[in-house]
């Protein structure tokens, strides 16, 4: 039940606590604080992972993206959702999973928000076509 008490085990625990602190601050509406903890957590998870890819990193990046979305930083949100999506696809069966659908759903909301605040419909249409490619074919 308990993890083995090793350096990497404790470091993984620290990364988990940092992520949860991010979640906690995000839930309290302290989005800037949440951002700091999410970034520390994802950096630590990356260091602990073999190749910079893991489900924990994907989850933290997803939460960071959501956090940027509620802060109105849509470009940042888009960037981190895309990173999370790429990782979720690595861990899914043939590129399809609940996590992939979840990230795509949230990314879709970001594009809608970008459209509402965008002064360029042309740019939005370009982004939208990329999103459709990303959704259907996994490329952008």
Partner 1 sequence: MDDNEKAKDIISTKETQTSLDYQTLGMIYQNQKLLAEALKSYLHALQLDLNSIDKEILFDYYGNPLHVSEHTEAIVDVAEMELLERLSTMSNNKSYYLFENIYHIASVYHQQEKYNLAEDCYKRCLLGYKDLCGDDAVNNELGYVLDRQGANYEAMGQYSDSEEY
Interface positions, 42-81, toward partner 1 (CB under 8 A): 43-44, 47
CB of residue 127 to partner 1, shortest distance in Å: 21
Q: Which is nearer to partner 1, 54 or 89 (CB)?
A: 54
Contact call for residues 84 and 53 (beta carbons, < 8 A): no
CB of residue 12 to partner 1, shortest distance in Å: 10
Q: Which is nearer to partner 1, 18 or 88 (CB)?
A: 18
Structure-token pair, residue 34: 């949440």
List C-alpha distances in Å: 39 to 57, 58, 59, 140.
10, 12, 12, 24
Structure-token pair, residue 50: 């073999």
Interface positions, 95-114, toward partner 1 (CB under 8 A): none
How many residues at the interface with partner 1, by CB under 8 A? 25
d(CA 99, CA 119): 32
Torsion of CA 22, 83, 111, 140, to 10 degrees: 180
Please report whether residue 18 would count as binding partner 1 according to CB under 8 A: yes
Q: Which is nearer to partner 1, 19 or 89 (CB)?
A: 19
CA angle 6, 7, 12 (to 5 degrees): 95
Residue 96: strand, helix, or coil: strand
Q: Which is nearer to partner 1, 8 or 123 (CB)?
A: 8
Please report whether residue 11 would count as binding partner 1 according to CB under 8 A: yes
Residue ranges in contact with partner 1 by CB under 8 A: 1-3, 5, 7, 10-11, 13-14, 16-18, 20-21, 23-25, 27-28, 36, 39-40, 43-44, 47
């Amino acid at each position: 039940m308990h993890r083995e008490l090793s350096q990497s085990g404790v470091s993984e625990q620290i990364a988990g606590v940092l992520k949860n602190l991010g979640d906690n601050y995000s839930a309290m509406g302290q989005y800037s604080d949440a951002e700091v903890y999410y970034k520390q957590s994802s950096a630590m998870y990356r260091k602990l992972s073999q190749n910079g890819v893991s489900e924990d990193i994907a989850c933290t990046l997803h939460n960071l993206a959501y956090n940027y979305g509620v802060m109105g930083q849509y470009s940042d949100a888009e960037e981190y959702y895309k990173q999370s999506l790429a990782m979720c696809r690595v861990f899914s069966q043939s590129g399809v999973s609940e996590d992939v659908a979840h990230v795509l759903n949230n990314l879709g909301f970001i594009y809608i928000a970008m459209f509402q605040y965008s002064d360029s419909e042309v740019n939005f249409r370009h982004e939208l076509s990329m999103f459709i490619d990303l959704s259907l074919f996994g490329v952008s």
